[in-house]
Amino acid sequence: MEPYLVPVVLIAVFAAFAVSAAAGFGGSLILVPTLALVLGTKPGVALAALLLAANNVVKVIAYRKTLPYRQAAPVIVLVAVGAALGAKLLVSAPERAVTLAVILSFAVAFLVESFQFTRIRHLSSPLLAFASGATSGFSGTSGPLKGLAVRGLALDRLHLVGALSLTSLVGDVTKTAIWTDASLLVGEDYLIALACLPLMVFATFLGRRFNTKIGERGYSSLFWAVMAGYTGRLLAGL
């Protein structure tokens, strides 16, 4: 990495952690394209997963009192299975195919959002969870589908963020383990994650504080703002 890019990456990392802590998801919206641009698609996607996995550990600790284990369990299992399959595809996939998958994942989310999912979100939640894990494992980001899958559980904002944090943690750890075994992640990458720990703690504190101040209506606006961000990335890639 060129020295002049280091501050840009650190700012992106901090912003990703703060958004993720406030909304429960959205970190990959910032982190994946930044690291993919700086390091290349595959290394960027892999390092983003490692950093987000570590950050999700901090988030789970921060939201430990509002973790809906029972309600989120089916979604978490399906995300993990999907992420494992998608991560294995990334290992053997051509670079161009992985790049196109990033765009495709947003296209799928955009199509899902074109329908009124509120009436069927409980039924569609398992399918969205599996698709979320698969697209995350293959392209590095699953935000729109994951957001819809967990929102289908009809939780209040703190438990929703807790569920998103748990789901993200399991998915990112699954991908990280597979990519470490495939040598996409090495010891140097883990040292980078360790060096980012202070940023994770500070950003998570700020994000959680923001979440507790905005109320249910404010959080709903934040949730859909993140979803709009993913849609914006979709349109920019067309």
Quote the CA–CA distance of 51 and 29 in Å, as a whole number: 13
Quote the CA–CA distance of 52 and 42 in Å, as a whole number: 15
Question: Quick one: pLDDT at residue 105?
Answer: 57
Question: Quick one: pLDDT at residue 120?
Answer: 47
| pTM of this structure | 0.74
Question: Quick one: pLDDT at residue 136?
Answer: 61
CB atoms within 10 A of CB 186: 12
Quote the CA–CA distance of 78 and 199 in Å, as a whole number: 30
Among the listed residues 113, 84, 101, the one whose alpha carbon sits nearest the alpha carbon of residue 139:
101
Mean pLDDT of each 10-residue bin along the chain, 238 residues long? 76 90 83 83 85 91 90 83 73 61 58 54 61 60 67 82 87 85 87 90 92 87 77 58
Cβ 67 vs Cβ 163: under 8 Å: yes
Question: Quick one: pLDDT at residue 107?
Answer: 60
Q: What does the radius of gyration of the chain's CA atoms come to, in whole angstroms? A: 16
Question: Quick one: pLDDT at residue 61?
Answer: 93
